[in-house]
Chain A
Amino acid sequence: MEIDPFIFRLSIFILSIFIGYYVVWSVTPSLHTPLMSVTNAISSVIIVGAIIAGLAGGMDNVFTISNILGFLAISLAAINIFGGFLVTQRMLQMYKKKKKDK
């Protein structure tokens, strides 16, 4: 009997939870705010679903409800992707070590 592909995806999911668990515990507490903003940005990879929805359908019916929701979701996710990564970058740029001189 064949294994349902769902089981493979479930395996990936469960293993990723464990990876997440160990990786996040090793994040230093002083970087918890950047951690939140970057997880925000990467969870917006949901944009792939939005793009599929937006590109669906033929030339004649681009504006079905399904497409329009796709477009809107693209914008929302894009705000998050750009905003999330850039604000994380901005924060991380500020973390500096003590200057040796002086």
Chain B
Amino acid sequence: MSANLSAIFYLASGVLFILALRGLSSPETSRQGNFFGILGMVIAITVTFLSVGNFSSGLIYVLIFLLVGGLIGAFIAYKIPMTAMPELVAGFHSLVGLSAVFVAISAFLNPEAFNLGVVGSIKLASLIEMSIGAAVGAITFSGSIIAFLKLQGIMSGSPITFKGQHFLNALLLISILILTYLLCSSQSSNFFWVLIAVSFLIGFLLIIPIGGADMPVVISMLNSYSGWAAAGIGFTLENTALIITGALVGSSGAILSYIMCKGMNRSFFNVILGGFGATEQSASTGNKERRPVKSGNAEDAAFLMKNASSVIIVPGYGMAVAQAQHALREMVDTLKKNDIKVSYAIHPVAGRMPGHMNVLLAEANVPYDEVFELEEINNDFANADVAFVIGANDVTNPAAKTDPQSPIYGMPILDVEKCKSVLFVKRSLSPGYAGVDNELFYKENTLMLFADAKKMTEEITKGL
């Protein structure tokens, strides 16, 4: 296949990828969008085979590895529970990163195959692009592995910090630039290996100081990195499909990170520098005063809800942990049978990744037009009778509006306190991730329900 013809096909697959993202603007068009994405991928892969045209040597192995990878991927996709979506996405990011590293190394060792020159005198531009692709890929890989381990609970979610951490990171980043320069001027492979090793280290160091609840930002950021890595390789291979896709994914991840940071009223750098929650936590445990709270059982909650005419449900990460989404949906069904209006309010940073709660509710067959974002529903709390907070905490804390001393001051919150009564399903009174006490616990119209989210919801349903 001629180079021009294949370039046109690559362009077509790039356009199909744009349409795939465009489809996600509404759930109705999203499935069609996904189909466009698959089509774009099929075109890109087919064209690559035809344009290389060398079917004698490695073809059988290429097909075998393709098949094995495909089967593993399909198996994972069907088996994975929806609650594990953040871990899955983090894991997938690491694979994109690692394959970018592999492709970069492969191109470095065998530049003739990629039309980049010969070993020892690779084109300057290609060397730079290769270094960028490999470095960003390696950072994505090791960073995503740490994110995966933290989300999976294998590694503690609490931030790991040490003295001189930021200084070390800055030093390593500068050394990457120096290594790239040395590599370009000497063409020596040693610098290339050191560059990759240092990049792995940076990814690792970058993510360990970031705590569990900041994971939405981390995952979005790594999503963005995986895109830039792909774009870097795209420049090396002079491949339009890769360049377009890399740019799309890179900006997509960047926008998501921005939305997540805004949801927490924190700057991107504040999140990246990490260590949030570690210092405040020790301060708040020191002067803890015991204040009276009203706690109740499932029957009290059922009574309150039965007499309500509208209920707003506020789900959070705790619902995902307790796998309570199906039980919740059953409770809501019962409420609806009693002609009670029910809607769901989702905070932008609820859960461990963007849109996490929406997927879980969709899994439990909650229609998406009953689920609302913060701006859409926040005014409705004042008119609602009962707010049912299940597994959320910091995102409902009124201190964010009233207490300038609070670490979460300025964060947009759901105005749960404006409801006539608030039901709070929680295992204990312990503060949330930010380490701040929630004023809401001590309000007169709040009833605490101390139990596992799933069990409590099931009992309330019985009580109704």
Which residues of A approach B to under 8 Å, CB–CB? Answer: 5-6, 9, 12-14, 16-17, 19-21, 23-59, 62, 64-67, 69-99
Contacts and interface: CB of A to CB of B under 8 A. Distances in A.
Residue of A5, A32, A39 with most partner-chain B CB within 10 A: A39
Nearest to A58: B57
Given A40-B93, A44-B96, A50-B102, A98 B369 contact: yes
A70 B392 CA distance: 45
Given A16-B247, A43-B249, A36 B223 contact: yes
Given A75-B68, A95-B27, A45 B73 contact: no
B359 interface: yes
Nearest to B103: A49
Contacts of A70: 58, 62, 102-103, 106
> What does DSSP make chain A's interface, helix, strand, loop or mixed?
helix
A71 B65 CA distance: 6
Interface in B82-138: 82, 85, 88-89, 92-93, 95-96, 98-100, 102-103, 105-107, 109-110, 112-114, 125
Contacts of A13: 231, 234-235, 243-244, 246-247
Contact of A86 (B14, B27, B78): B78
Given A35-B355, A36-B354, A47-B99, A81 B249 contact: no
Nearest to B98: A76
Residue of A14, A17, A25 with most partner-chain B CB within 10 A: A17
Given A24-B251, A40-B226, A84 B355 contact: no
Contacts of B251: 17, 20-21, 24
Interface stretch (B15-23, B160-168, B190-198, B430-438): B15-23
B449 to A, nearest CB: 27
A99 B293 CA distance: 40
Nearest to B100: A46
B270 interface: no
Interface residues of B, number: 118
Contacts of B223: 36, 39-40
A84 B76 CA distance: 9
B220 interface: yes
Contacts of B85: 33, 37, 87, 91
Contact of B106 (A53, A76, A81, A87): A53
Interface stretch (B31-39, B169-177, B298-306, B405-413): B31-39
Contacts of A59: 56-57
Contact of B96 (A5, A16, A54, A80): A80
A76 B99 contact: yes
A57 B233 CA distance: 20
A5 B234 CA distance: 14
Contacts of A42: 17, 20, 37, 40-41, 245, 248-249
Interface in B46-69: 48-49, 52, 54-59, 61-62, 65-69
B73 A37 contact: no
Nearest to A41: B37
B217 interface: no
A35 B219 CA distance: 12
A87 B70 contact: no
B145 to A, nearest CB: 13
A89 B92 CA distance: 16
Contact of B369 (A6, A33, A80, A97): A97
B18 A92 contact: no
A57 B106 CA distance: 12
A81 B73 contact: yes
B242 A45 contact: yes
Contact of B362 (A28, A52, A96): A96
Interface stretch (B180-188, B252-260, B273-281, B452-460): B252-260
Contacts of A84: 73, 77, 92
B343 to A, nearest CB: 11
Contacts of B259: 29, 32
A61 to B, nearest CB: 8
B322 interface: no
13 contacts: A42-B249, A46-B229, A46-B230, A48-B48, A49-B103, A52-B113, A56-B110, A58-B57, A80-B95, A82-B73, A82-B74, A84-B77, A86-B74
B56 A85 contact: no
Nearest to B219: A36
Contacts of A57: 57-58, 110, 113
B238 A34 contact: no
Contact of A20 (B99, B252, B362, B365): B252
